Structure 1
Amino acid sequence: MQRKNLARFAIVAGLCSSLALPTAVFADQWITDESLNGVATAQPQKDDIVPNKGQYKYAKEELAAFCHFGPNTFSGVEWGTDYGTKMPSAVTYMNNLETFDAEGYVKMIKEAGFKRLVVTAKHHDGFCIWNSESTDYDMGSTTSRIDILAELSKACSTYDLDMGLYLSPWDIHEPSYGNKDGKPDNYNDFYDGQLREILGDPKYGNKGKFVEVWMDGAKGTGADAQNYNFERFAKTIKELEGDECVLFQCGLQSEVRWVGNENGLAGDTAWNRVEMNPNWDSSSAEVPWNKNIQNDPTVGAEVSVGSPTGGKWIMPEADARITAGWFWHNNMKTPKTLTELSNMYFNSVGHGAPLLLNVPPNDTGTVDPEIKQRTLDFGDNVEKTFAQDLTREGEGRTAATAKASSAWENDPAYGPGKVLDGKDETYWSAKDATGTQSLLIEFPEERTFNVVSFEEAIQNGQHIKNFA
């Protein structure tokens, strides 16, 4: 996916899908679908490394919402590392929850155009926002006894909003965490049990299903004693949810990776493929691929760039916050401006990485009116920006036409007109990958626009390095 706001980027009429910037945009001779009379004996060859169904689905969805809610919402901290020591226990804070408007929250997320909701069922403090059988550090031990995860799941099932599960591997509260007793598998048993408790219960998820499991890579000081059994966790997730449930930061089994910052910004060239690190130690907090974190001056942030020749498809996901914090706090509740959110969108989704935007409920179990309105306005802006495809016929317009420098096997099934048909399964393919290839979209009359959106057929792999 590439979406460029022309107020920020200059784009010439000929869009190139070659591997290098063309020395000339226009071809010596143009072909159209009507001029093609060949029949391909085989499809253009796919790469050996392509996205799986879950990765492809997420890439096409573009927008996901993050829901951070728990003791931190009431305590005013982002990481609850001192509950029960320097601060009251998490249970004490959660006793303050009287109601939780899950339906209103999910309805807002759906109306704003988000396609999935990732819920922090357990953050680093270890408190479970569901009624858990694995611990008494949960909602079942509070006076409110509201199973927040179940309420959100019920609402997501009502509004048919896909769900993701955030279950922090780092657990400050759980006694079995780490190697204190010389039995490191004790915590892995505990964590795997929590995965099974949620993923195996039909009351959790959208109609009992999750599309993503999010494993935060954070570890605090002194927390490096625990060696996570990611292979076991991945096996459990796939067993209970199927292969289309993608794994965020699950060791060698990862399918989604952190983009490199928490500002919702992906690199101008964001490769889905990564080079795996042959020397990765599973006891290390480092990720098992060569991060390739670089500064990208086009977005002004550190980004994970990936590699065009990487050995595994681990797609980037750009996470960000609509306020200053992940959790709602009384001193961090001012939402970002629409300009800031637009910049996030064009530099995450527009660069090929889904945007995971955190929208936090407040300490009354609802969403602040200002945050709610900003979320809805953001979604409305995205919808209206792409509501009209000016290459299509309509409202007095004649459809645009497409020409190209070549087409695969001279077959109209891969002709330039396929870039305008609105179908993901069809695409223009040039004759081969060598030399300069050009595409020209012609309007029959003058038209005014300020956004260009075009996509690569990533079901076959990713090749476009740059364009003019």
Structure 2
Amino acid sequence: MKRILVLFSLLILFSQTHSSENSAKKDKTLSEFMDLKFGMFVHWGPVSLRGTEIGWSRGREVTVEDYDNLYQEFNPVLFDADEWIKTLKDAGMKYFVITTRHHDGFSIWPSDFSDYDISATPYKKDVLTELKKACDKYEIMFGTYYSICDWKHPDYPLGSPGGKTQKESGDMEKYIPFIKAQTKELIEKYNTRILWFDGEWEKPWTHEMGLDFYHYLKGLDNTVLINNRVDKGRKGMEGVTISDEYAGDYATPEQRIGAYDVENPWESCITICNQWAWKPNDQMKSFDECIQTLIKTVGGGGNLLFNIGPMPDGRIEQRQKDRLKEMGDWLKVYGESIYETKGGPYKPTEKFASTRKGNKIYLHLFNWDASSVTVPAPGTDKIKSCGILKGEGLDFSQTANSLTVYIPASLKNQSVLTIEIGLVNNVLTIDTIEIN
């Protein structure tokens, strides 16, 4: 009996140690992910042939019959995975997420569990394998988007758009094994590091299903990152998780910069144009808006997943590549103020945002037209220096309550003016400072 108790105690100890090690691995992976700060989101598939929104235009702008047969015309002969990921790399992006299956049900990879996939198209090639190889080549984290809902699949109870129709054949008990099998493929065949879920808001998906799915996937690979849309706890487009009882490793604000939060991981997903999927002549954001969106997001404590929509032939529009390259050129100079930083200590405003690491605060001024900027003193620490990051020193004055940095006329009205503030001690422990 004594021997059995000893063995039982050892088993419990091993289980606790193993669980602790797994938790530490997961925390390390999440921390490394949040250090990357900037990633590329891609919405792409047969719908690009019509230039309408992926998923949502099925049965709306495009008839269901037409939409569901677009795969027969989908032949992106100019697709070049290396060119896509090099574009990402040149933009200063560090990770990649592509829509492997949107709400329309089309799988962008040759799946053993679906006939409605890339192998059924004239193109036939496995674009995911090519993209994964390119990501490995350029040292980019590889991730995959996967919709929980599927408005085409006979076993999913609701139809499109937006689950407005009920299918008589719907059966979630049959459907869930299907999505588990497909996501297992993404983990085991493609070694996806991110599973970016969507479509969880629809009624057939429950909190219990979300928890079960999350634990199933973590059982396959505890280090795969899973966003909060795997479960029912997301608060609308704000993206925050409303309670710890819901699953998910990080929050997902959509088409907006997330609220300031330097304690909990989050990522804003925002489009470079207006539409997620490719649209001819879609209005594109200016360089000022793009770079300031990145800085405000990182200054608020989050990552930016910036979306592009490739064309039907597989190319990324040249104008989008040019805009991304502009962002990359800025990051080549000022990237140390973005990557591996923590947001704050100053809460972002329309006029500036700040980031920090080590003993430095980086203050980013947007189109600043004044001859000085005054902010509350960052704690009680002494300021050693102020200057343009990678540039000239700046005059400054410090009191117990404030810091004033003087801006020469030649530096005014830049899209972004990045000031490096050097302190004596580590700045990560400085409390958040809100400026009225």
- What's the TM-score once normalised by structure 1's chain length? 0.61
Instruction: Decide which of 86, 94, 104 is 2:83's aligned counterpart.
Output: 104
Instruction: Decide which of 61, 79, 96 is 1:117's aligned counterpart.
Output: 96
Give the deviation of 1:418 after TM superposition.
5.3
User: Does the 8 A contact of 1:75 with 1:93 survive in 2?
Assistant: no
Bigger mean CA deviation after superposition, 80-89 or 156-165? 80-89
User: Which secondary structure state, in structure 2, belongs to the residue aligned with residue 76 of structure 1?
Assistant: coil
What pairs up with 1:20-99 in 2 under 5 angstroms?
52-78=27-53, 79-82=56-59, 85-92=64-71, 94-99=73-78
Give the deviation of 1:190 after TM superposition.
0.7
Distance in structure 1 (CA, Å) of the matches to 2:30 and 2:236: 14
Give the deviation of 1:354 after TM superposition.
0.3
Q: 2:172 aligned with 1:184, yes or no?
A: yes
User: Does the 8 A contact of 1:111 with 1:376 survive in 2?
Assistant: yes
Distance in structure 2 (CA, Å) of the matches to 1:288 and 1:62: 19
Instruction: Decide which of 369, 373, 385 is 1:443's aligned counterpart.
Output: 385
Q: 2:118 aligned with 1:151, yes or no?
A: no
Distance in structure 2 (CA, Å) of the matches to 1:189 and 1:462: 46
What pairs up with 1:191-230 in 2 under 5 angstroms?
191-201=179-189, 204=190, 209-217=191-199, 219=201, 223-227=202-206, 229-230=209-210
Give the deviation of 1:68 after TM superposition.
1.1
Distance in structure 2 (CA, Å) of the matches to 1:193 and 1:372: 35
Cα 1:164–1:88 shift into 2, 3 Å: closer
User: Which secondary structure state, in structure 1, belongs to the residue aligned with residue 290 of structure 2?
Assistant: helix
Q: Could you tell me which amino acid in structure 1 is paired with residue 287 of structure 2?
A: L
Deviations 1:165-224 (A, max 9, x none): 1011011111111385574221111100101122111xx2xxxx32211111465xxx52
Give the deviation of 1:452 after TM superposition.
4.1
Give the deviation of 1:236 after TM superposition.
3.2
Give the deviation of 1:111 after TM superposition.
2.0
User: Which secondary structure state, in structure 2, belongs to the residue aligned with residue 329 of structure 1?
Assistant: coil
Q: How many residues align?
A: 333
Partner of 1:232: 212
User: Which secondary structure state, in structure 1, belongs to the residue aligned with residue 177 of structure 2?
Assistant: helix
What pairs up with 1:13-412 in 2 under 5 angstroms?
52-78=27-53, 79-82=56-59, 85-92=64-71, 94-178=73-157, 180=168, 183-201=171-189, 204=190, 209-217=191-199, 219=201, 223-227=202-206, 229-243=209-223, 245-251=224-230, 260=238, 276=243, 303-304=258-259, 314-332=264-282, 334-386=283-335
Q: Could you tell me which amino acid in structure 2 is paired with residue 364 of structure 1?
A: D
Give the deviation of 1:367 after TM superposition.
1.3
User: Which secondary structure state, in structure 1, belongs to the residue aligned with residue 183 of structure 2?
Assistant: helix
Q: Could you tell me which amino acid in structure 1 is paired with residue 43 of structure 2?
A: H
Distance in structure 2 (CA, Å) of the matches to 1:373 and 1:418: 33
Give the deviation of 1:356 after TM superposition.
0.5
Partner of 1:419: 359
Give the deviation of 1:134 after TM superposition.
0.9
Name the structure, 1 or 2, with higher relative contact order (CA <8 Å, separation 6+). 1
Ranges in structure 1 where 5+ consecutive residues have no aligned partner: 1-48, 262-271, 281-286, 294-299, 390-416, 423-435, 456-460
User: Does the 8 A contact of 2:258 with 2:266 survive in 1?
Assistant: no
User: Which secondary structure state, in structure 2, belongs to the residue aligned with residue 65 of structure 1?
Assistant: strand
Give the deviation of 1:387 after TM superposition.
6.1
Bigger mean CA deviation after superposition, 81-90 or 62-71? 81-90
Aligned-residue CA RMSD (Å):
4.0
Give the deviation of 1:314 after TM superposition.
4.8
Give the deviation of 1:80 after TM superposition.
4.0
Cα 1:258–1:154 shift into 2, 3 Å: farther
Give the deviation of 1:142 after TM superposition.
1.2
User: Which secondary structure state, in structure 1, belongs to the residue aligned with residue 299 of structure 2?
Assistant: helix
Give the deviation of 1:376 after TM superposition.
0.9
Structure with the higher helix share, 1 or 2: 2
User: Which secondary structure state, in structure 1, belongs to the residue aligned with residue 178 of structure 2?
Assistant: helix
Give the deviation of 1:437 after TM superposition.
4.1
User: Which secondary structure state, in structure 2, belongs to the residue aligned with residue 438 of structure 1?
Assistant: coil
Q: Could you tell me which amino acid in structure 1 is paired with residue 66 of structure 2?
A: M
Partner of 1:4: none
Cα 1:378–1:172 shift into 2, 3 Å: same
Give the deviation of 1:384 after TM superposition.
1.6
Give the deviation of 1:233 after TM superposition.
2.2
Deviations 1:267-320 (A, max 9, x none): xxxxx9x65177x8xxxxxx999x9x9xxxxxx9685566x9xxxx75221111
Distance in structure 2 (CA, Å) of the matches to 1:277 and 1:447: 46
Distance in structure 2 (CA, Å) of the matches to 1:339 and 1:444: 24
Cα 1:444–1:369 shift into 2, 3 Å: closer
Q: Could you tell me which amino acid in structure 2 is paired with residue 172 of structure 1?
A: W
Distance in structure 2 (CA, Å) of the matches to 1:193 and 1:419: 48
Q: Could you tell me which amino acid in structure 2 is paired with residue 276 of structure 1?
A: S
User: Does the 8 A contact of 2:143 with 2:194 survive in 1?
Assistant: yes
Structure 1: which 4+ aligned runs deviate by more than 6 Å?
A: 256-259
Cα 1:99–1:81 shift into 2, 3 Å: same
User: Does the 8 A contact of 1:257 with 1:316 survive in 2?
Assistant: no
Give the deviation of 1:247 after TM superposition.
1.1
Give the deviation of 1:105 after TM superposition.
0.7
Cα 1:231–1:371 shift into 2, 3 Å: same
Give the deviation of 1:162 after TM superposition.
0.7
Distance in structure 2 (CA, Å) of the matches to 1:339 and 1:117: 23
Distance in structure 1 (CA, Å) of the matches to 2:296 and 2:145: 24
Cα 1:234–1:383 shift into 2, 3 Å: same
